Amino acid sequence: MTDPIESPAVEAEAAAAEIERHDYDVVVIGAGGAGLRAAIEARLLGKRVAIISKSLFGKAHTVMAEGGCAASMGNVNPNDNWMVHYRDTMRGGKFLNNWRMAELHAKEAPDRVWELETYGALFDRTKDGKISQRNFGGHTYPRLAHVGDRTGLEMIRTLQQKVVSLQQDDFKATGDYESHIRVFHETTVTELFKTDGRIAGCFAYYRSTGKFVRFDAPAVVLATGGVGKSYQVTSNSWEYTGDGHALALRAGATLINMEFLQFHPTGMVWPPSVKGILVTESVRGDGGVLRNSEGKRFMFDYIPDVFKEQYATTEEEGDRWYTDADNNRRPPELLPRDEVARAINSEVKAGRGSPHGGVFLDIASRLSAEEIQKRLPSMYHQFKELADVDITKEPMEVGPTCHYVMGGVEVDPDTAMSLVPGLFAAGEVAGGMHGSNRLGGNSLSDLLVFGRRSGAGAAAYVDALVDVRPAVAEADVDEAVKRALLPFSSATEGGENPFVVQLELQKTMNDLVGIIRKADEMEQALKALQDLAVRTRTVTVEGHREFNPGWHLALDLRNMLLVSLCVAKAALERQESRGGHTRDDFPVMDADWRHVLLVLSALGEDNVELVRQEQVPMRPELLDLFELDELKKYYTGEEIGGHRADQGLDKGAKA
């Protein structure tokens, strides 16, 4: 057992001397969909790989994904193809997406899903035995491969089992299961090491023992997921403290799009202890409708101009769409998430909410009890057991919950490498793919496409290094030990309980940089964060280093703080409303902001710098996939000068 420490310096030196050390070609931080797919790819390319995760192997956040994985396989509607998916993704993101990422994603998603079947995945089937696909908000055609409402579980289990199968192959070849892939679970990375400007490795502690461990490796893939735990009402778990975002910043990489957070329109609102837990969008995809306290399907009042042509204007048309999608427009309940979340917010504010401050989501009057239990088993289960509500008989009460961060590490679309040589990022921690708003189902496919690309990118990077691997500097290891032990040291004596500081941070972000934003509130938030920065640095913990949640949180807090600063700063800067960023004081979308990225970098432990950067213009042949009239809603006149629509080009490929 480790006793509370008297002198952190002495302790740090002693600890550094006996630190466990491992050498790998590629270290993947994160065992969700993105991390596992990255590790599989790097291993298939012959690399020795470590996978590190905070939770147990198989429990990463991906396990919670419900609705499905978007890929234009065209199994249900043969009109679907990558171009339609690409257009939907760009529209959903309000054209702020990194178009190259959106292109790669749309093109490669089907292959990535089919590949999962060869790993043993069992998706729900169509009548002719193919992978079934379901409707989701913002997707023109039924596109989401799914397994009931537990698609994330299927995905993570499949990838987990593929990792195991590779380990079994390695065992046959080398007699050691872990000769090429080893999983270090319940292990938290707290620092990245750099030498001569390149990645040299990383530093972590075992959660169970509190012992430190270092990984020497020329390539690190961040696949750490999101940041939602900085908000009070969220669908995200304790893992979502923005570690990868913060690690990247501290290593000198940049973040983009941090002002864009997705508030999922339907989280549970009651009882208080489950507030924020997700109610899958499949409920609406399968026919569920939103009503206010007057029983009105209010979404018909909230169809924005840019979407007028694609959505039904009457309940009758909307209802017909479920059975005849080719001849009717979809109901407005399936608008992109930002639109639905804002609409719910407005209804509640106008006094037309449900008893516990949400609105009603009704599936009971739309499907038979049997069908509900078959299509939405885990929702049925969740409401029955957590809220005493039988969703086959009564409507659910739902309201917006912080769900997904569009912002993340700025990466090269093809290789997933950040600005720091040797540092890669994929999945929710990477930025760009989803622009200002992510479509449901586009994350699971994103994990597969860019997980694979980051693994390949890291492997290629390691190959190009030949044998000059950057060495970890011992002084950096000592520093890392010291920082990790700070909450135990006398320097923080009399400091606060990390749980208390966390609550306050969550409240600040929820109240002041939430779903609807105002300049004065965000300024107030930035001030509050300054104060919280000091308190974060001095939180103190009790007890020992063995599985100590107080200590774990104390270290996560500094990441939450840095990331919250990024969100608040970028949100204050962007003077328009777009996707997951809504300004009360600048309520409209402004074409002059579309091509501007807000790029953040770290200034020390708890300050960030923001600069504006121009987006790279879309390749002409991709621009041509859109009608000129649609582009005019998003682009400035100058920008679409290059569109070749009026030059009589063949656009036959369009669906």
Partner 1 sequence: MSHDQHFRVWRGDSDKGELVDYPVLVNEGEVVLDIIHRLQQTEAQDLAVRWNCKAGKCGSCSVEINGKPRLACMTRMSTFDEDEVITVTPLRTFPVIRDLVTDVSFNYTKAREVPSFAPPEGVAPGEYRMAQVDVERSQEFRKCIECYLCQNTCHVVRDHEENKENFAGPRYLMRIAELDMHPLDAADRKEAAQEEHGLGYCNITKCCTEVCPEHIKITDNALIPLKERVVDRKYDPLVWLGNKIGIGRKSAKS
Ligand X SMILES: Cc1cc2nc3c(=O)[nH]c(=O)nc-3n(C[C@H](O)[C@H](O)[C@H](O)COP(=O)(O)OP(=O)(O)OC[C@H]3O[C@@H](n4cnc5c(N)ncnc54)[C@H](O)[C@@H]3O)c2cc1C
The residue ranges that bind ligand X (CB under 6 A) are 29-35, 52-55, 60-62, 64-69, 151-152, 188-189, 223-225, 235-236, 239, 243-244, 278, 404, 427-429, 440-444, 447
Query: Residue 499 binds which one of partner 1, ligand X, none, with CB within 5 to 8 A depending on kind?
Result: partner 1
Q: State the nearest-atom distance from the C-beta of 484 to ligand X, in Å.
A: 12
Please tell me which residue in 87, 284, 291, 594 is annotated as part of the active site: 284
Q: State the nearest-atom distance from the C-beta of 582 to ligand X, in Å.
A: 21
Contact (CB, 8 A) for 397 and 270: yes
Q: How far is CA 209 from the centre of its chain?
A: 29
Taking CB atoms, the residue at the shortest distance from ligand X is 32
Q: Which two tokens stand for residue 280?
A: 């899958």
Contact (CB, 8 A) for 188 and 168: no
Contacts of 339 (CB under 8 A, 6+ apart): 302, 303, 304, 307
Q: State the nearest-atom distance from the C-beta of 277 to partner 1, in Å.
A: 5
Give the residue with the Cβ less far from ligand X, 278 or 533: 278
Q: State the nearest-atom distance from the C-beta of 206 to ligand X, in Å.
A: 11
Q: Is 480 exposed, middle or buried (0-12, 13-18, 19+ CB in 10 A)?
A: buried
Query: Residue 168 binds which one of ligand X, partner 1, none, with CB within 5 to 8 A depending on kind?
Result: partner 1
Give the residue with the Cβ less far from partner 1, 145 or 249: 145
Give the residue with the Cβ less far from partner 1, 6 or 111: 111
Q: Roughly how many angstroms between the first and final C-alpha of the chain, as a whole number?
A: 65
Query: Residue 440 binds which one of partner 1, ligand X, none, with CB within 5 to 8 A depending on kind?
Result: ligand X
Query: Residue 67 binds which one of partner 1, ligand X, none, with CB within 5 to 8 A depending on kind?
Result: ligand X
Q: State the nearest-atom distance from the C-beta of 244 to ligand X, in Å.
A: 6
Q: State the nearest-atom distance from the C-beta of 409 to ligand X, in Å.
A: 11
Query: Residue 122 binds which one of ligand X, partner 1, none, with CB within 5 to 8 A depending on kind?
Result: partner 1
Give the residue with the Cβ less far from ligand X, 30 or 395: 30
Please tell me which residue in 43, 87, 264, 330 is annotated as part of the active site: 264
Query: Residue 272 binds which one of ligand X, partner 1, none, with CB within 5 to 8 A depending on kind?
Result: partner 1
Give the residue with the Cβ less far from ligand X, 49 or 525: 49
Q: Which residue has the tokens 């991709």?
A: 622
Contact (CB, 8 A) for 92 and 434: yes
Q: State the nearest-atom distance from the C-beta of 220 to ligand X, in Å.
A: 11
Q: Residue 284 catalytic?
A: yes
Give the residue with the Cβ less far from ligand X, 74 or 427: 427
Query: Residue 546 binds which one of partner 1, ligand X, none, with CB within 5 to 8 A depending on kind?
Result: partner 1
Q: Residue 264 catalytic?
A: yes
Q: Which two tokens stand for residue 283?
A: 């409920």
Peptide bond into 413 cis (omega under 30): no
Contact (CB, 8 A) for 431 and 407: yes
Closest CA to 628 of 617, 616, 641: 641
Give the residue with the Cβ less far from ligand X, 37 or 342: 37
* Residues that bind partner 1 in the complex, under the rule CB under 8 A: 55-59, 61, 63-64, 73, 110-111, 114-115, 117-120, 122, 124-125, 128-130, 132, 147-148, 150, 153-154, 157, 161-162, 164-165, 167-168, 177, 208, 237-239, 270-274, 277-278, 378, 381-382, 385-387, 497-500, 503, 541-544, 546-551
Q: Residue 438 and residue 436: Cα distance in Å, rounded?
A: 7
Q: Is 224 exposed, middle or buried (0-12, 13-18, 19+ CB in 10 A)?
A: buried
Contacts of 47 (CB under 8 A, 6+ apart): 25, 26, 180, 458, 459, 462
Closest CA to 310 of 329, 323, 333, 337: 329
Secondary structure element (H or E) that encloses residue 205, with its range:
strand 198-206
Q: What is the DSSP string of 626-645?
A: S-HHHHHHHS-TTGGGG--G
Q: Annotated catalytic sites, by residue?
A: 264, 284
